[in-house]
Every structure is written in C-alpha cells, then in structure tokens.
C-alpha cells in the first residue's frame, strides 16, 4: 500500500488542477492558433520589378477615349515579358472589361481612375462565370481572370463601374433602382429562373448561355479558378452586382480596399468555394451583404461540393447593406475554419448572419469570432437560420460556432435568433462575454441543441438557458 501524507496530497491536487487548467486553456486557444497557421500559408504574389505604362500603348486619360485595347496590349506585353506592373498613371481612363493574365499586377496611381463601360455589348463574348452560386456562360465581369496564377490589383486609385439607375441596376426589376413597369428584367420566368432550372437539370455549363436579353448583371471583379491573388489599396465604386467575387481560388489576399456601392445585390466581398483567404483592414459600404462567404447554390453547389474554408477576416469596417458579415445563402458546398476578429459593423439590417435552407444543404462548421462591435441594427444583431427562402430535401448542418467579446449597442428587432429544422438542429454554439442592448426581442431558440451562454447579457439581463431541443423565446416583456 502506498502511503501519502496530507501535504503531498494537496500538492498533487494543485498539480492536477494546474494541468487541467492548462489543458482547458490550450483547447480554448487551439482554434486561434489554427488561424495563425492559415495566415502563414497566405502569401501575396511577388512580381518582377518592371513597369508597363498603359499610356505607352496608346491610352488617353481624358475619360472619353476608349483605352481598352491599350490596356490589353500592356497586359499582354507584361505577361510575355515574365510579369511586372501594368501601371495606370494619373488620369481618367474609359475602358471595357479587363482580362488579367498570370504574373501581372494592375497598379493604379493614387490619382488614376478606370471608368468602365456601361454598354452590355462591350462585355461579350460570353465567358464561364458564377452567377448567384450557379455556373453559366454570361457577360464577362468588369475585371476577369480564368485559371491564372500570380495576379494583383493594387495602388491607391479608383475602379468605377459607373452602374446607376440608368444602366445596370434596373435589371434587378425594382422601381427603387430605376426599373420601369413593363420592361424586362432578371425576374422574368425565362431569365434568372431559367438558369437555376438548368442547374437543377444538370444542363452542361457550356449550354447555359445567357448574356444579351437575359438581364443577368456582371460582377465587378471575378477571378475564377486562380491561384495567388492580391487586391490591395484600391477604391471600388458603383458595381453592377457583386463587387469582389473570387471563385474556386486559393491563396487570396484582400487588404486595405474600400468598396462603396449601394445598388441592388452589390455585395462587397464574396469569396466562393475558395481556400486560404485573408480579408483585412478593409471598408465596405454596400447595398447588400458587406462580406459574405459562399460555396454554390443548391444542386450546382453540391455538384462541385467545394467549401469556402480557411478564411480570416480581420480589422474590417462595414456600414449599411444587409448583413455586416454573412455566411450564405449560396452555401451548398459548406464553409469551415472561418476566423473573424476585430471588426466593426454599423447600420446593417443584420449584424452577424448565417443563412441557409434545405434547398441549399451543406455543412457550416468551425466558425470563430471575437472582438466584434455592432451598432444600429435593423433586424437581428446575431441570427443563424435554416429557414431562408425555399424548403427542399437537403438538410443543412450548422454546428461548432463560437462568438466571444461582442458588443451590440443598438440590437434592433432581435438580439440572438437561432432557428432550424427539427430534423437538423443547430448545435454546439457558444456565446462568451456577449453584450447586446436596446433590442426588442432578446432571444429566440428553435430546434437548437447545446447552446452555451457565458457572461452573455441582453438588455442588461444575463442569459441563462440550458436544455436540449428546446424552443425558447425571451420576448420584450420577459
């Protein structure tokens, strides 16, 4: 028999407690150490030290003469020479779409502006693009690349899509954006709906031909299946639709950009089915979600089944729009390993929003947020919902979401809303050190499991809820 005295016993207890505490702290810090590993993999491309001025190829910075061919020649020459910077010097340059090639950095002087054509015919021939989560042959985006490596858009200049109520935006089909009763728009049955129907019937992408007569607006910047991408420093104005939209890309850095576009569906930054993405030190003032992670819509998203993963969002500010930061709704390929920290969200309809449905399917998991400030929310400060749009037969999964150190000064209509299907409860969610004030309905949980609240206060009252599969609402008078 081993004998142990009281002093030795107390020492063992202290040591065991120390080990337990260290293990707990290690578990808590593990996700953020994973973020550091992701950041080490995200390395911006490096370019040869040689410049190609577009004015040397015939560009004229008067805002009138079409400089498309001059920009194209400069990019082609830069690419053939092994890469470098294609420089947009001071001035205003009118252009059609720009195709970026490997090893080319499109660099804008601080007093340079690219003014993009608003004539749809200039965005032909059709290219393979992703439109609201579905692959199609459609208008080329304003800046496009397909299968390229080491590409960049940098500098302190401005990219102006010139979209307005007089050109692209009426295609949405809403009077608020210039649409007139009786004129065609994307909501006609043979347009947007036709694309989605083709995807559900597995029509080959090459046969999904749209463009003229279909009113599907092009995105502003869309690199498709590209590697090693950098967008840094530029200001982007007035997009026809989604603004920064990398699709199926890897090693993506979006740093210090400013997006100002209040038109319909002008999401600020939507990485879709991308891997190793950094969005940092950027400002978004948009007409839709400011930042939204995507991975395909319905059957077309499940066909590829590629998640948006290893995404880091740091030190960003968002204002107006729908959600400040969203995951979904085109999220059929799922999302995982998402890290969001030190962000400020102001005047959105929703603050943090995860949105999906059983039409979408997919798994959203391992999402970590900390140090978030939210102000003046229209609807909910935080909402995770599986009830977005139509219901189908592909149950989504939402699990393992952690939010810590979040403050919402004006919580709008709702504080924290979590709603799911009985067949697939949202589970394993942790709120820690969360404070939401001035909200009408503090809490709603419907088909939620293992939801933990640690030091979480809404309207000054601590939230203490436990249980499984509960339906709980704390309303205005509770």
Query: Catalytic residue at 109?
Result: no
What are the CA-CA distances from residue 218 to residues 212, 264, 287 (Å)?
Answer: 11, 12, 16
Nearest to 30 by CA among 363, 426, 400, 315: 400
CA–CA gap between residue 186 and residue 423 (Å, rounded): 34
Distance CA 143, CA 135 (A): 17
Q: Report d(CA 35, CA 311) in Å as an integer.
A: 8
Sign for the pseudo-dihedral over CA of 345, 346, 352, 356: negative
DSSP 114: E
Q: Which of 135, 267, 276, 288 is catalytic?
A: 288
Cβ(159)–Cβ(93) under 8 Å? no
The CA distance from 473 to 82, in Å, is: 61
DSSP letter at 264 equals T
Beta-bridged to residue 252, according to DSSP, are: 229, 277
Dig out the tokens for 212 from the structure: 């003229």
Among the options 267, 322, 375, 400, which is catalytic?
Answer: 322
Closest by CA position to 308, among listed 334, 345, 343 = 334
List the structure tokens of 197: 């129907």
Assess whether 245 carries a catalytic annotation.
Answer: no
DSSP 46-85: ---S-EEEGGGGT---EEEEE-HHHHHHHHHHHHHTT-EE
DSSP string across 147-196: S-EEEEEEES-EEE----TTTTGGGG--GGGT--TTS--TTSTTTHHHHH
Q: Which pairs with CB-CB distance under 8 Å and at least 24 residues apart come from 162-167? A: 162/115, 162/116, 162/117, 162/118, 162/238, 163/118, 163/238, 163/239, 163/240, 163/261, 163/263, 163/266, 164/118, 164/238, 164/263, 167/118
Closest to 132 (Cα-Cα) out of 182, 206, 186, 209: 186
Instruction: Give the 3-state secondary structure of residue 247.
Output: strand
Q: Which residues are catalytic?
A: 288, 322
């Amino acid at each position: 028999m081993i004998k142990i005295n009281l002093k030795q016993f107390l020492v063992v207890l202290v040591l065991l407690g120390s080990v337990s505490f260290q293990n707990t702290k290690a578990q808590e810090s593990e996700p953020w150490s994973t973020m550091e590993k992701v950041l080490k993999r995200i390395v911006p491309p490096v370019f040869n030290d040689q410049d190609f001025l577009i004015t040397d190829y015939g560009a004229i910075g008067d805002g009138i003469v079409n400089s498309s061919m001059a920009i194209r020649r400069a990019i082609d020459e830069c690419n053939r020479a092994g890469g470098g910077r294609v420089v947009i010097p001071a001035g205003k340059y009118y252009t059609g779409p720009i195709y970026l090639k490997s090893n080319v950095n499109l660099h804008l002087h601080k007093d340079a502006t690219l003014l993009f054509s608003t004539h749809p015919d200039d965005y032909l021939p059709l290219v393979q693009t992703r439109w609201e989560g579905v692959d199609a042959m459609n208008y080329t985006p304003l800046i496009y690349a397909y299968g390229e490596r080491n590409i960049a858009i940098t500098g302190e200049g401005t990219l102006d899509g010139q979209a307005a109520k007089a050109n692209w935006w009426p295609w949405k089909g809403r009077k608020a954006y210039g649409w007139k009763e009786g004129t065609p728009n994307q909501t006609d049955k043979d347009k947007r709906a036709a694309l989605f129907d083709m995807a559900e019937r597995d029509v080959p992408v090459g046969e999904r031909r749209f463009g003229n007569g279909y009113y599907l607006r092009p995105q502003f910047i869309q690199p498709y299946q590209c590697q090693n991408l950098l967008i840094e420093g530029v200001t982007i104005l007035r997009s026809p639709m989604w603004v920064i939209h990398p699709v199926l890309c890897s090693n993506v850095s979006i740093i210090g950009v400013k997006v100002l576009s209040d038109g319909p569906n002008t999401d600020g930054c939507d990485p879709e089915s991308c891997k190793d993405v950094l969005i940092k030190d950027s400002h978004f003032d948009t007409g839709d979600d400011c930042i939204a992670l995507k991975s395909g819509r319905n059957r077309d998203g499940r066909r590829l089944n590629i998640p948006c993963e290893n995404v880091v969002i740091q030190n960003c500010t968002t204002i107006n729009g729908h959600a400040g930061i969203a995951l979904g709704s085109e999220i059929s390929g799922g999302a995982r390993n998402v890290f969001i920290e030190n962000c400020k969200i102001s005047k959105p309809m929703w603050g943090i929003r995860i949105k999906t449905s059983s039409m979408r399917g997919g798994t959203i998991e391992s999402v970590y947020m900390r140090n978030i400030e939210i102000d003046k929310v229209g609807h909910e400060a935080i909402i995770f919902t599986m009830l977005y749009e139509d219901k189908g037969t592909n149950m989504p999964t939402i699990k393992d979401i952690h939010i810590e150190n979040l403050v919402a000064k004006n919580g709008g209509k709702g504080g924290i809303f979590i709603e799911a299907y009985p067949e697939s409860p949202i589970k394993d969610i942790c709120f820690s050190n969360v404070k939401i004030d001035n909200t009408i309905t503090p809490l709603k949980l419907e088909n939620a499991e293992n939801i933990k609240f640690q030091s979480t206060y809404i309207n000054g009252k601590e939230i203490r809820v436990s249980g499984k599969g509960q339906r709980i609402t704390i309303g205005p008078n509770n």
